[in-house]
Amino acid sequence: MARKKYQEIAEHLELLVLSGRLKPGDRLPAERQIMEDFDAGRSSVREALFVLQRQGLLTSRPGAVPRVSVPTAEGIFAELSGPVRHYINRPEGLREMQDARALLEIGLARQAAIVATDADIAALEKALDANRNAKDLEQFFQTDVAFHFQIAKISRNSIFAGLNTAFADWLKNQRVQSADTGTSFEDVVRYHSNIFEAIKNHDPEGAANAMDLHLQDVVKRYWQAVLK
């Protein structure tokens, strides 16, 4: 038996959704029904449903029949949080993750400077002000993430928005550590201001550069804190 049974069932059900025969919100057959349809035992059916559920394709509550649901970018990336935690634990893992985030955010800043509308810029300025006026550490973190998220939103691509949120979550620990060095808020806000100004002036290279410097600073402070 080369191909496992649950895979067969999972792929078949997946096709039902992909082909549009089952639309989001529709109710799936009950487990016992699927058992009959595929001539399989309940374990196999359950494992198949389990896979699809973990993929965000369907939600199932006890007592109720499973329903088809739309996978969101956030949900997809959230599923990665487990593996990512381990990946970061590897020797080179964190550095690679930091580089990956940098490539994303720098690219987003560059693009934002190109396509930002007046409304985008206004929203970004609001986020910047909120960050500048943060009263405590927690509020500062929150508005910091919000500022970066606002930049991601300008791309109007939910993948970028989701990735941005995911990175913020994955590297949260880095943020906390870095703050322990006594980094003053003003430094970070100054970087943010530079980024904002470049985007406002529709200067792609300036925005990319400012974001690059910002992230380099964050990474530098983190490693200082760790190695101290």
Partner DNA sequence: ATTTTAAACTTGTCAGACCAAAAGAAGCGA
Partner DNA sequence: TCGCTTCTTTTGGTCTGACAAGTTTAAAAT
Cβ 78 to a copy of itself, closest distance in Å?
Answer: 11
Give the Cα separation of 28 and 22 in Å (integer). Answer: 8
The yes or no reply on residue 33 touching DNA (CB under 7 A) is yes
Give the Cα separation of 199 and 140 in Å (integer). Answer: 22
Q: Which C-beta is closer to a copy of itself: that of 79 or that of 125?
A: 79
- Helix ranges (H only) for the chain are 5-18, 31-38, 42-54, 73-79, 81-89, 93-115, 118-132, 137-154, 158-170, 172-179, 185-200, 204-227
The yes or no reply on residue 26 touching a copy of itself (CB under 8 A) is no
Q: Which C-beta is closer to a copy of itself: that of 96 or that of 186?
A: 96
| Binding site partner of 126, from a copy of itself, DNA, none, Cβ cut-off 5-8 A by kind | none
Q: Which C-beta is closer to a copy of itself: that of 112 or that of 188?
A: 112
Q: Which of these, 169, 168, 179, 173, lies nearest to 225 by C-alpha position?
A: 179
Q: Which C-beta is closer to DNA: that of 51 or that of 146?
A: 51
Instruction: Yes or no: say if 144 and 131 are a contact pair by the CB < 8 Å rule.
Output: yes
| Binding site partner of 35, from DNA, a copy of itself, none, Cβ cut-off 5-8 A by kind | DNA
Instruction: Yes or no: say if 207 and 109 are a contact pair by the CB < 8 Å rule.
Output: yes
Q: Which C-beta is closer to DNA: that of 65 or that of 226?
A: 65
Give the Cα separation of 180 and 182 in Å (integer). Answer: 5
List interacting residues with a copy of itself (CB under 8 A).
14, 17-18, 43, 46-47, 50-51, 54-57, 70-71, 73, 75-76, 79-80, 82-87, 89-90, 92, 96-97, 99-100, 103-104, 106-108, 111, 155, 157-160, 163
